[in-house]
Every structure is written in C-alpha cells, then in structure tokens.
Amino acid sequence: MTKAYELLKEEVIQDIHAKGYLYKHKKSGARVMLLANDDENKVFNIAFRTPPANSTGVAHIIEHSVLCGSDKFPLKDPFVELVKGSLNTFLNAMTYPDKTMYPVASCNDKDFQNLMDVYLDAVFHPNIYKNEKIFRQEGWHYHLEQISDPLTYNGVVYNEMKGAFSSADEVLNREVFNTLFPDTAYGVESGGDPKVIPSLTYEEFLDFHKKYYHPSNSYIYLYGNMDMKEKLDWLDKEYLSKYDAIFVDSEIKFQEPFAERKDVCFSYPILDQDEEENNTYLSYNVTAGTALDLKLCVAFSVLEYALLDAPGAPVKQALLDAEIGKDIVGSYEDGILQPYFQIVAKNANAPDKERFLNVIYDTLQGIVNQGIDKKSLLAGINFFEFRFREADFASYPKGLIYGIDAFDSWLYEDEKPWLHLQQLWVFEELKKEVENGYYEGLVRKYLLSNPHASIVTLVPEKGLAEKEDKKTGEKLAAYKASLSKAELEQLVEQTRALKEFQETEDSEQAKECIPLLNRSDITREAVKLYNEEHHQGNTVLLHHNLFTNGITYVDLLFDTKYVPDELIPYMGILKSVLGYVSTEHYSYSELFNEINANTGGISCGLQVFQKPVLSVDCARMFGVRFKSLDAGVDFAYDMVKEILCTSKLEDEKRLREILGSMKAGLQQAIPGSGHSSAVLRASSYFQGSAYFMERTAGIEFYHLVEKLEKNFEEQKADLIEKLQLLMRYIFRPENLFVSITADEKGYEGTEQKIASMKEYLHKEQLPQGCIHYLLEQKNEAFMTAGQVQYVASCGNFKEAGYDYTGSLRVLKKILNYDYLWINLRVKGGAYGCMSGFKRNGEAYLASYRDPNLSRTLEIYKGIKKYLENFSCSERDMTKYIIGTISELDTPLNPAAKGSVSLNAWFSGLTESDFQKERDEILHVSCEEIRKLSGLVDAVVSQHNICVIGSSTGIERDKELFKEIKRF
C-alpha cells in the first residue's frame, strides 16, 4: 500500500464484515492494523504495552498527563478542548494492567483527522517534560496553602484511586488478580494504590514515558470507511518517520504456575454501624490457559454461564443451598495474557471458607462424573453467539470494541491480530463438543486439578477507612514537622504556583492551535423518528420500521397508574423475580436456559416517561422486553405467556435467594455510582418521576430489600401476597402498550400475537389505586466506608418560571468542561463533574470521587456569577456548539433508534421539536448563555442537596444537612 510499511498479513474477516491488513512501519518499528469496511463511524487507537513494576500508578498518571498539552498543541488541556469542540463519537484513554490505550472515533473525516493528530502528538511529544505541574496536578502533590494548615495530599489520580479502593468488589478483584500473578506486572496495581502513589517521583514518571512511549512499542489501529493509504502516508510523514526502531523490553511475562493453592486474607472498610456478620467475601480463583487459545476462552465463558450465571446453575445453587453467602457470582476474567476463572460468595462469613471450598469441589466432581446439563451449555453458546452476531455495544462504536478485542491476542502475539474477531467457527465447534465430555474435561483440568489457584477471604473491618485516614494524616504531620521553615515556605509556594497554573487561561493563540470544524460542517437536520402507529383494539402498537438484520426487538409496556401506593416499591422486586422463578412447565433453571437457547433474552424493567411540561406526574411503565431472530418470535411470545401466567411467586426459598442477590448487588451499585444515586435521591425531594424511581430502584428501595431479606420469615407471606396482587394490577389488557423495532417482515403477525396475549391477561375487577407523591426536601448525607464524596445539587427551573431551550445543552457543555471541570477536577482534585438540564425542568449538578464537600457546594453557587460575566470568542462558541451536536449525533443502532422514537412518542415530542432544539443550539450566543444565569441560580437556590461519601467528610460539614444516615 505504501513503501514506508511492510505488509505482514492480509485477510478477509468475514465475521465482522471487514478486510484486515497488518503492517510494520519499516523505520520506526510501529505495528499497524487496518480493518477496512463501510462503517462511517471511523476509529483510531494508539496503544502501548505498559507493564508496571510497582503500584505507584505511573502508567495511569501518564495516561492522564500526556493529554495535558504537547509540542504541536501547547495548551493545558487539549483533551477537554476536543471534548468541547469535536464531533467525536468516542474520545477517551484507558489504563489496563498491561497496556494503555488512546482511542478516538468520529463519522466526520476532517474531525477524525484532527483527533488523530492531537492524540499522536500527545503520546509522542507531551508537555510533561516541560512542566512538572502537570504531574503534580494529575498524579499527586503536597497541598499546603498556609504554613499553619495541615499538610494533605491531592491529585486527580490519587483521588480517583481512593474512590476505587473504597469498593469491596474492587478491592476483592484487585487482590485476587495480584495474588494469582505475584511475579509479573499483574502482581501490582496499574491504576495506583493511594498508599503507594505518593512515593512516585517526577523522574520515575518521565523515565516510564521515555521507555514505553516509542513507536517500536506502539500498536496503531484504524477501522472503518476511509482512505487507508492516505492515513498511512500521513502517519509516516508526520510522526513515525521521525523515529528509528529500537528494542523496548515490554514483554508481558507468564506467571510460573503455583505448586500449591494460595490462601490469603485481606480487609475492606465498613462503617462502625455496619454488621460484620454476613459481610465477608469468599473467592476461589484459578488460572485458565492463555488469551491465545480462543476456543478455550469462549468455552470458559460458556462454563461461567452454565456453572454460575444462570439461575439454578449447579455451583451457584449448591452454595446457596448450603447457605454460604447471600449472592453467588462467577466471572471469567479475560483481556489479559493469563485469564482466570473466579467463584465468589458475597455476604458470607469467614469461618465458612472450608465449607465453601468443599461445596465447590464436591459439586464440580459430581458434574465431572455425571456430566454438565447439555441444555445449559447450548443455551450459553447461543447466548454468546447471539451477542457476537448482534454486535450491540450501546453507545460505543463497533470499531472501538473490535479494536479492544483485537488486543486480547495482538498484544501477546504479533502474528495473531484478529484471533478474537473470528468466533463463529468456535461456536460451531463448541456445539459439537457438548456431546463428547469436552466441558467436563475442562472442569477436571482447570477447576479441580489446577494448583495455580487461590482462595481469597475479604473480611469487613470497622473503622478501617478512618484508620487509614489517620495513618495518612500522622505520616503527613510527621513529614511536615521534619521540614524547616524554608522548606515549608517552599511547599506553600509550590501550592500557590500550581493553583496559579491551574487558574491561568490559555492564550487565544494556544487555543487556536487545536483544529476546529466550522459550523457549516454540522448537518442541520435533527434526529429522525420511526413511529408508525397501529392498533389492536384499544392497544397501541408502535412500529419502528427499521432494518435490524433479522432481529425483532419487542417492548411490552404495561401502565402502572392504578397500582396502589403501598405496592409501588414492590414493583422493583417483581421485575427481578419474573423470569427467575419456576413456572408451570419449567424449573427456573430450565426456563432461563430455554429462553437463552432460543432467543436473545427476555427481561423485565421499569421505565418512566415524562412530558416536557412542569408536572409532578409521569407515565410509569412495567416493561417485559425480548429480542429474537425473526424465526424465534413465536417462541418468545410463548415464554412471555409462561412467565406472566404461571410464575410460582410462592416459592419462598427462591424468593429469599433473589432478595439476597438483590441486596448484594444494590449494596455495591448504589455507592459505586454515587453521583447518580445522589442525583436521584435529591431529585426525589421535588420530582415525581425521580420519587418513583427512588422508591423502586434507589436508596429507599435498597433499605426495603435489606429489611425484607433480614426479616424474611416474618414478612414472606406479606411479600408473596403483594407480588401476586401486583401481577393482577399490572398485567391487564387495558394497560398494554407495544413497541416493536423490526422491518416489515419482522412486524408481520404482531397484531394477531397481541390479540392472543390480551386473552390471557388479567381481567377481574380491582379497586383502583394511585401513587402518592410525598415530596419533601430532606437534604440528606449518606455515610459509606469510602474516602471520597459524591455531591449533588438539584432543582426544577420550570418551577421558577424558566422554559427549556436548546441553549441549555450548550450550557451543559460549558459547565462540564469549563467551569466545573476547572474548579472541581483541575483545582479540587475530583475525578469527575457533571450537569444536566431536562425538558421537564429537572436539573442537576454533581461531582464524582470528590475529596471535597462544602467547597463543591460553594462552587455550584458560583455558577450564577460565572454566567453573568460569561464571554467567549466566536471560535469558542462554535467549539461549544460542535461539541454539543456531537452528543446529539452519536450513531445509533436499530434498537437504539427504536428506543429514541418510543421515548419521543411517550413524551409527546415530534421531529419538529428536535429540529427546534437543534436550531437553538446552532444559533446560540454569549448573550443567551448569560441569560441562563438566573435559571441555574434558581436551581441551586432551591437547595435540594444529597451527598454520598465518607463519614469523615460528612461529619466535618454536618451543619449542611437535615439528616445524616448510614447508607
């Protein structure tokens, strides 16, 4: 294709409809992979093998730091400038245990070229060598504003990892990983251990970059519909030709197998009020081959499904029956050279460790002797094959995920770049292996007779977070005491200089070096909706007529407006029960396998639709969803009937197991996404839709599940009665609304199927109930054992008389990547910050893994003044507009287009409404942004706040809250 490169390999990769080329750049030694196809959503990725030698987080800190300016783009944060002013469909960087990636994606050719240029200059010519303050800001630094102040640590990565080290799940996964591979790069924490991060020096930081960030250690990936020769020539001319090939020792070493299983114990933090009983994690872990054995990798994913993931799976069920843990989960951890298989009992007790192991061994031995259930194996194979063929990665570009998957082999074997992109043959092979003992052999070899294993016990420890904080404080105090006055003054000066660096704006000349599209590069047309309204009697059938490659997506939505108030929280339980309990013709394990063997899955959930008006009420729907190849749709409808008509809700044992699993999941999920949880809780003080979701999925719902699980014997009869009553209230013909995404062929016969469905739905008379919106400003703080905060401030601007306008989307971009970013992340050290403004008037401000609390709330109050004085150049406004449009124009797969259309229908929005919003965005001015100062101030002034975070931080600012509670 071009003389600067040597073609090593060329292959048609039929499974993903692409042609693959593998090159080596002759002068620099860079590896280059091309995947050419007709996908307009183009992807570029440059990655480096970066095996860390310790837990200072140097690879992670470099990932952050190289995006803080470079030779060609010398401003302080080109990454943020790109987020603000690019049509990107993906823009980020990621640190893994053995590699660091810098991927971008865009559908716009000019934009895509710009993104490539900025990222390549960032990784090869970063400003980190010119300015130590970048390292101190993104990694760690001593913070001392006055000599009399206590000395503290701060830094974006430092605070990010303090948050990560607060989660029991993350602590467990890290300790398992490090324990299995102690003599390799996998034996340390690539993200950084907060206790170790402050030992990293600036010199060590630079040395790591010098060693690994060379083209000879790089993996360059291009995917999509583009002029590949032009891109290769440009890469050679602008970057690669400037380097000579060198040897970079970055090989990922194999861990020598253990002679015997390791047995280790670690602690994780809980609050003093939390219970130690039933709060231990037990984890059995075994290595399982290498990432270069594709058949083995896919087979272990199937085994995870068959042994642990499916309801009633034998290992999971045996542990539940033995009452070892309330939730049993399994995982096959790949994406590394040596994948491993993990079996975890959550909410268990440490003395049960030996029983835990014995139950696992006995169950697995029985499986080897008697054989694995063939239906579950076939169901697992179909599940993964359906997912591979569908290639539905939500908002992530397909090319991005394919590129990440390619690294599962390419990083470890140059000659096998596309191993994990060609899986269809494996599924056929694995179906044949069901009959010949292949899977039983894997269980025997890897799970039973494998000494390269570990048993990790993770026990709760009260006050551990406070103890660590105290040790850190004492260490810092001792260090401060050891310093002379001159040294202390130097620290104060460094803190001042860093703050000055953070507050100093880039020059217009520096900003203009970032390439920018013109407004004319933006398409003027807004989103297209696909809503064809049909009727079957009084039931609306909304057809989203789209090509779906032979897959039909069906949403059966049931209005819950007449459900009595006291039953509403139990809908959150019902959605987790249906499909997971036995029915008339199937045990719950048979049901799950039958569904997954023949469809793409059936699931239940709750969905809220809000009209764009100031209103407390909203449409609250209970959804039963499925996806299936067209040929399997009749079967899917039959299984929905089986679930809705014959589910055995009176199965007490099964209900108890489901509640235990729900509690464990919520226990980690709510504080793990503390920003979302805090926003939902604060919004529930004043917003009906948030109030409903809080009662069925938020903190209040968690406390209901916790109470039911703890007092199950006393409350089981009432729970069963409520669930059975809910079935009669919800699944009625008059409540049904149908949304179907498919082409004309996929839609055929839908009206007859819905008519048949309505025949078996409940029709008996029931007294009508309704939801009671008990809206009340509570301003709560929820204490966790974490070491950081999630700070939310919410309100409704329509209550203050303001209307929704497209300029609010531009305001969100300005706040998220200017005002909040600079004040909360850059200066404050929070890992994330966000805002949002909805059509119904609901608005929020939130921080993520934030070391601060009251300071953050003060920053929110300062938005009014910031906006009153807001001014920017025409170039900057164009940048904000382009960045805003990029969020609106993310390419959607057919299922997502159907979902957008469905939401628009329920919200009463038309294409004209979306066009009006887009026109308002395209024509926004500084004056219009300034006018929004009152709107944001009205939101903040309503003073609906909720914080989830450390007990220390909350206690320090306790006067801010009406109530302080344990999560």
Classify residue 541 as left (phi > 0), alpha (psi -120 to 50) or beta: beta
**Per-residue pLDDT, 511:** 86
pLDDT tens digits, 259-280: 999 999 999 999 888 889 999 9
> How far is the C-alpha of 325 from the C-alpha of 664, rounded, in Å?
10
CA 571 from centre of chain: 25
Rounded to an integer, the average pLDDT of 193-204 is 97
606 backbone dihedrals φ, ψ, rounded to 5°: -110, 140
> How far is the C-alpha of 223 from the C-alpha of 37, rounded, in Å?
7
With CA atoms as reference, report the closest residue to 626 among 641, 647, 645.
Answer: 641
558 Cβ partners below 8 Å, 6+ apart?
621, 622, 623, 624, 730, 731, 732, 735, 736, 737
What positions carry a catalytic annotation?
63, 138
DSSP bridge partners of 557: 623, 737
Per-residue confidence band for 403, with pLDDT thresholds at 50, 70 and 90 = very high
pLDDT tens digits, 291-336: 999 999 999 999 999 999 999 999 999 999 999 999 999 999 999 9
**Per-residue pLDDT, 790:** 97
Rounded to an integer, the average pLDDT of 89-96 is 96
What global pTM score does this model have?
0.94
Question: How many other CB atoms sit within 10 Å of the CB of residue 13?
Answer: 18
With CA atoms as reference, report the closest residue to 149 among 625, 496, 439, 621.
Answer: 496
With CA atoms as reference, report the closest residue to 650 among 592, 721, 743.
Answer: 721
**Per-residue pLDDT, 273:** 85
- Both tokens of 455, joined, read 């048993």
Give yes or no for a contact between 67 and 50, defined as CB atoms under 8 angstroms apart. Answer: no
In one letter, which amino acid is 916? Answer: K
Beta strand segments in 640-788, E: 736-742, 780-784
Give yes or no for a contact between 549 and 388, defined as CB atoms under 8 angstroms apart. Answer: no
Give yes or no for a contact between 267 and 459, defined as CB atoms under 8 angstroms apart. Answer: yes
H-helix or E-strand spanning residue 551: strand 551-559
> How far is the C-alpha of 396 from the C-alpha of 649, rounded, in Å?
38
Per-residue confidence band for 510, with pLDDT thresholds at 50, 70 and 90 = confident
With CA atoms as reference, report the closest residue to 580 among 951, 312, 178, 333.
Answer: 312
**Per-residue pLDDT, 294:** 97
CA 446 from centre of chain: 30
Per-residue confidence band for 234, with pLDDT thresholds at 50, 70 and 90 = very high
98 Cβ partners below 8 Å, 6+ apart?
49, 50, 51, 185, 186, 190, 252, 336, 337, 411
pLDDT tens digits, 769-803: 999 999 999 999 999 988 899 999 999 999 999 99
**Per-residue pLDDT, 204:** 98
Q: In the chain, what percentage of residues exceed pLDDT 70?
A: 100
Angle, alpha carbons 589-594-599 (nearest 5°): 130
HEC readout, 506-522: CCHHHHCCCCCCCHHHC
**Per-residue pLDDT, 647:** 98
**Per-residue pLDDT, 461:** 94
DSSP bridge partners of 607: 621
**Per-residue pLDDT, 1:** 66
Give yes or no for a contact between 912 and 794, defined as CB atoms under 8 angstroms apart. Answer: no
Give yes or no for a contact between 434 and 375, defined as CB atoms under 8 angstroms apart. Answer: no
**Per-residue pLDDT, 612:** 87
In one letter, which amino acid is 877? Answer: M
Give yes or no for a contact between 197 and 158, defined as CB atoms under 8 angstroms apart. Answer: yes
Q: In the chain, what percentage of residues exceed pLDDT 90?
A: 92
With CA atoms as reference, report the closest residue to 948 among 846, 821, 815.
Answer: 846
β-strands 551-559, 736-742 pairing? antiparallel
Per-residue confidence band for 688, with pLDDT thresholds at 50, 70 and 90 = very high
H-helix or E-strand spanning residue 23: strand 18-25
Give yes or no for a contact between 451 and 261, defined as CB atoms under 8 angstroms apart. Answer: yes
pLDDT surpassing 90 at residue 616:
no
**Per-residue pLDDT, 16:** 96
Per-residue confidence band for 946, with pLDDT thresholds at 50, 70 and 90 = very high
**Per-residue pLDDT, 62:** 98
Beta strand segments in 705-796, E: 736-742, 780-784, 789-796
With CA atoms as reference, report the closest residue to 23 among 7, 34, 46.
Answer: 7
Tokens 């219970």 locate to: 275
pLDDT tens digits, 416-433: 999 999 999 999 999 999
DSSP class of residue 247 equals: -
pLDDT tens digits, 339-356: 999 999 999 999 999 999
With CA atoms as reference, report the closest residue to 286 among 522, 449, 74, 427.
Answer: 449
**Per-residue pLDDT, 126:** 98
DSSP bridge partners of 624: 556, 604
Question: How many other CB atoms sit within 10 Å of the CB of residue 740?
Answer: 24
Between 808 and 2, name the one with better pLDDT.
Answer: 808
pLDDT tens digits, 128-183: 999 999 999 999 999 999 999 999 999 999 999 998 888 899 999 999 999 999 99
With CA atoms as reference, report the closest residue to 914 among 809, 813, 791.
Answer: 809
pLDDT tens digits, 627-641: 999 889 999 999 999
**Per-residue pLDDT, 914:** 97
pLDDT surpassing 80 at residue 580:
yes
Rounded to an integer, the average pLDDT of 820-838 is 95
1 Cβ partners below 8 Å, 6+ apart?
7, 21, 23, 228, 229, 232
